[in-house]
Structure 1
Amino acid sequence: MKYIRISGRFSAEISVLTGSDTIGNYNTHSTAKVSVEKDGTYKTYEVPVITGNSLKHWHAVYLAKVYESLGGNKLNEFCKKGIGMRGYTRDSTFNEMKLPNSEKEAIEDLCNDIHGFLIPEKQIKRDSLVKFSFGVPVLRDDVLEYVSRFSVTHNRVSPIKSKSEKGEESQMMIFKQEYSTSPLYGFAASMDLEYVMRSIYESSTEEPKEKDEVEKRKRSSILALLYMFNGVGSKQARALPISEVKELLIAVSEKQIPNLVHGAYPDYVERSLDVLNSYKTLIKDDSLKVYGYKIKCEGGINCRNSLAEIFKEILGTVT
């Protein structure tokens, strides 16, 4: 399959989904405002969020890990170590950073290929093949009322004694980190794997010659999602996230398909199926398949009891 669309929900407890700022020794959590219609008017909530950029970052990190475990070796030092410094050649290192001369040269590196880059000096760019929305609490009063954001005190002990301005010796630094808890977050993602190892902004009708490498990159992109579904969170220095996948809706096709309705909407499954069924009727896409995990099996959804079953079927169609 060349095109994948995902929407779903997860819970998160005592997690730093996305760090925002530092004020002295106080580290804040990213927040955003969402609106919910109620009794003919709108009520606004300020809620902790996980940014699409954070989800994209972690997908790139897990992508490289899976790719290497599958035997892949066409990635530079930044990609291997999960550092978001894209736009350098495949053989670039910390000591020797090289800029490519074309998009074709740049996408020899795994992360440049899948997650895109921009080189202003040379006017070379590539859009990311993998995109994520913000993860936000489900837009229902019963969920939003129980979303919380709070701080926890941490101690950092130093083996070296230091003196404050007052001359007091100290080996301990106290700081606070904000965390968040929500019973239910929604998210959405899209993957356009049609363009793996193929230029987007350079005119070329040439098909990638390394078929095995293309397949390896597609499989790695899909499998990286499994890592994310079992532990989201952009800041893991102080504590790994406590999270659980609640439900998923996944659509795959050989043709370009619409994005699914975001999992934050209460009726996202029904609305997504309406979009997909309309698309299938008008486009005549016989390759379209829809999978569900822990949701109602209706409207042509192929429900499966485990993520392993769904991903096994999807991976079986990768070419």
Structure 2
Amino acid sequence: MTTSEAIARPVRVGLVGAGRIGNSHAEVLARRVPGAQLVAVADPRGDAAQRLAGEFGARALSPAELFDDPEVEAVVIAASVDAHVTLTEAATAAGKAVFCEKPMGLTLAEIDRSISVAHAAGVALQVGFNRRFSRDFAEAHRLIADGAIGTPQLLRSLTRDPGLANPAGVPPWTVFLQTLIHDFDTLLWLNQPARPVSIYAVADALVAPEYKAAGLLDTAVVVITFDNGAIATAEANFSASYGYDVRAEVFGSGGMITAGDGRRSATVLYDRAGQHVETARSDVELFIDGYTAEFVEFVDAVREKRSPSVTGVDARRALEVALGCIESVQTGAPVRLTEQTR
């Protein structure tokens, strides 16, 4: 399908969630994805929905109204995490294709149920793992799949967030369920078709230790072993003062490949204080092209009536690792993943 055809027949999209990421998704859908038309916005805060919808010429609706609206073909869910499952099931049951931000659910049973509902309705279900659509990560995946570095042996993925604006507002286990969930998906994706067999995680509150008693963990390191013998590490921290830092590295029997660079441009300033580069300060800034490409994939899947390249199954596999991390931290021991636990 040509670009002109996509513009002539845009997929009509409704957005649920008018918070930080919802605002970003609205801008991307309305201005960067020719094949999409943002037609409705829903949020429990009516004023937030009205404001965001008005900015892009869309209608402000309740979630129920949005799901019942025959004009809406597809739904992007960018609401709070604890609402993802309920909203996904309601939207798919209404016959809408769904793009759900990560994590798609907080238990494997929840994700299984959402996958089943979408399958029964015959609609696309995509999860928001944006790194797969970032140009450098996608190229790394292609090269690994083509055998450019031989057999993967050591893998590394990291996420370092610039800061904690409100430590008291961070739900327990966020570091695994919402931050490192991206890294887990990245590692699983880069080491396909291998499966994780063991997980060991350590975590602490080093950035805001006064909130540890309330359940905050802001620093974590995870070791994952795979059934092909590869060993992977994932790490996260919420105090990268130098910018939003996301990188990956895969070392194999025939070479190594890296992905991720937080620099805003290739410009480097050299002065008496040293070398200086401007860095990205947020996920939206760093991955704007990835966010755009994942929505292009979503609307193409809807239009072509096919499964998207990142599905609920991928969401389940990443959550399996995240839940293993939580168990490992709680027990202080490695967690074995078996076919039964999967």
Q: How high is the TM-score relative to the length of structure 1?
A: 0.24
- Whichever of the two has the greater Rg, that structure is 1
- Specify which structure has the higher proportion of helix: 2
Question: Greater strand percent: which structure?
Answer: 1
